[in-house]
Chains A and B, each alone.
Chain A
């Protein structure tokens, strides 16, 4: 835990050293809320802004915040590891008295915390400008978020393992960028898809996470009411987490055999 704190504060310091980049990330979050706000206004002007028991704005704010976290969790590990490799700092870090897995995943610690802050900022700004969370069931929200986070981190860990072994060609990022964004119902309900496309949504854990989150935040549904989503999400996590940890172990073993983490 101590090492994780050291890594987090170091990477916060490093992120802050790029001040403009640091500030624009937060500004970008606020701007995305404005985008959702005016999309909602457009629909209202056409007389249709209600969706899944709430406003389209609330629907988008939740979807947007979740998408941000989805992207972050899948990219953070691989992107930060790649940065370390390009900078040449990964080898000195691996030569310290720190477990190898922590040296490989630790550089993402601040990025994940910052991602959480950005999600909270997005929800907060959204609430301030009209997103309706008055019905929210916060217990369900927290439980679903926690399970989703572990499930998303599994993708991130697997992604980092791919970077260690293959350097490029990370299928996890492809999965998130090309498939999950479209098929998980981030910006529109999956019910809009024809049935044969909906099959893709059904094999993505993010679909269940987002559905449960929206149920909890927009309609105040309890864990009992969302039990199916929660169970499916738990099932995905139970499979994906050990798989990702196995992939990471394989990657570390590969690294020890080849030692090629200094080349990218």
Chain B
């Protein structure tokens, strides 16, 4: 549905050039919910703006819904719905319905179909009761929902969502993400490119994620696939009771434990951070405690298991 081949984008004049996107090649499948993740300045928005034909690539090619973004830009624009990061991008004095009517007409929708389509998208995003209210009376979250409704107005095959939940509260954000996943991708089989620089947005949401840093693809895969590529190192915080000194000595001698760090010591219990070379050894470590008259009161994993760690690993930056 979307294919990028050695895509590159350079801004600036000769001598003062910034390479925003470098040799990006990837494919987004039909009906896929594809995450574009990376820190600020990674090139995510540049890629989306190239896909939306707002920017011309400096090198390489990009094809959306079978159309080349340079040579067939009108067909590309008819195939996509773009949600910009700026939720205020409406004619505030006009109503939601009048705004959508304008964009629907500009997207070549037949006049007879526009009213029904406006009703459909406003219903979908819980804005039916605001159809005749001026957009300037909308809350930021409502404007952002209207922003997505606008992108959907001509029923495009591809949705490009640049931080679509940026200004929403958690409940609205969850509602919109659920709508994207179940209704737009699940039922309507739309292809969605979802940009975010917030990791929690991608977890348990995107089918696949590409991690970009400095305009380059670091890795592409499902969150699970990316996690499986990580080293199997693990850090546990363990609170032990009993013969704490003997337990600590056992851990320090263990070849499967890379580091032992005492975090705190109470009257009856002491907390340690244990760094294991391989998380698979955790069970044996726990079982060994009883052999030296120790007892594990509580334990929990303290290294970040989310995409944050994956990003840090693949972009060679420290996780925080």
Contacts and interface: CB of A to CB of B under 8 A. Distances in A.
Nearest to A3: B106
A18 B107 contact: no
B150 A92 contact: yes
B54 A259 contact: yes
A258 B11 CA distance: 6
Interface stretch (A43-51, A94-102, A123-131): A94-102
A256 interface: yes
Interface string B85-124: 0101111111000100011011110000000000000000
Contacts of B54: 91, 94-95, 256, 259
B86 A88 contact: yes
B80 interface: yes
B296 interface: no
Interface in A186-214: none
Contacts, number: 75
A6 B102 contact: yes
A249 interface: no
Nearest to A15: B93
A93 B54 CA distance: 10
A178 interface: no
B91 A95 contact: no
B88 A259 contact: no
Given A87-B89, A89-B90, 12 more contacts: A10-B105, A13-B94, A88-B84, A91-B82, A95-B53, A97-B75, A97-B77, A256-B56, A257-B11, A257-B56, A258-B11, A259-B46
B74 A88 contact: no
Given A92-B84, A97-B74, A259 B55 contact: yes
A98 B106 contact: yes
23 contacts: A3-B106, A6-B102, A6-B105, A10-B102, A14-B94, A17-B94, A87-B89, A88-B88, A88-B89, A91-B54, A91-B86, A91-B89, A92-B82, A92-B84, A92-B103, A93-B106, A95-B52, A97-B78, A97-B106, A97-B107, A97-B108, A97-B154, A259-B49
Given A96-B106, A96-B107, A256 B86 contact: no
Contacts of A99: 74
A14 B93 contact: yes
Tell me which of A87, A89, A98, A257 has the highest count of chain B C-beta atoms within 10 A of its own C-beta. Answer: A89
A6 B98 contact: no
A166 to B, nearest CB: 15
Nearest to A253: B56
Nearest to B108: A97
Interface of B: 11, 46, 49, 52-56, 74-75, 77-78, 80, 82, 84, 86, 88-94, 98, 102-103, 105-108, 150, 154
B93 to A, nearest CB: 4
Chain A interface mostly helix, strand, loop or mixed?
A: helix
Contacts of B91: 14, 17, 87, 89
Nearest to B153: A96
Contacts of B105: 6, 10
A3 to B, nearest CB: 7
Question: Among B74, B78, B89, which residue has the most Cβ atoms of chain A within 10 A?
Answer: B89
A199 to B, nearest CB: 38
B50 to A, nearest CB: 9
A96 B77 contact: yes
B78 A18 contact: no
A84 to B, nearest CB: 10
B102 A95 contact: no
B11 A13 contact: no
Task: Output the residue of B53, B54, B154 with the most chain A CB within 10 A.
Answer: B54
B285 to A, nearest CB: 54
A135 interface: no
A7 to B, nearest CB: 8
Nearest to B70: A256
B11 A6 contact: no
A32 interface: no
A249 to B, nearest CB: 14
Contacts of A93: 103, 106
Contacts of A24: none
Contacts of B52: 95
B106 A6 contact: yes
